[in-house]
Amino acid sequence: MSEKDNRIDIQIQRESDKQGKSSLKKYQDMVVGNRSFWFLFKFEMIALLFSRAPGALGMFLRGVFYPMILRKVGRGVVFGADVWFRHPSKISIGDGAIIDDGALIDAKGSDNRGVYIGNKCYIGRGTVLSCKNGDIYLEDYVNLST
């Protein structure tokens, strides 16, 4: 781990340890990336109702509802089951991308743009993309898997 990564990790830990910060506010800052109660409600309901829905119906429902919490979602994007997002309003996904089951896309940070996934990219099962106050930009046709 580089010295810069270590400083960012310590900064994130210090932010979460601030006195007087409720567990809800910590969760909103670390996972949701937004203090709006409406966005929190929308994020939680979509995750609860659709993230683990099986089969083609689940895939269809995630394709309808995930764009409501993400910054941008192109046409024909496929979301597998159990895909999780952190700071979803800083995640953009291009046309025809596939995000396979169990992937985590984490755009956490206070001074970053977040994660951009290009057209026709494939994010494999169980893959973790995490930028911790940096940016991740995947060009078109990138294939990532663990």
Q: In this predicted model, what pLDDT tens digit does every residue of 84-109 receive, in sequence order?
A: 999 999 999 999 999 999 999 999 98
Span 38-58, average pLDDT: 94
Query: Which of 117, 113, 118, 105 has its CA nearest to residue 133?
Result: 113
- SS3 at position 132: coil
CATH number, domain 3-16+23-144: 2.160.10
Alpha-carbon dihedral sign for residues 98, 79, 95, 110: negative
pLDDT at 110: 81
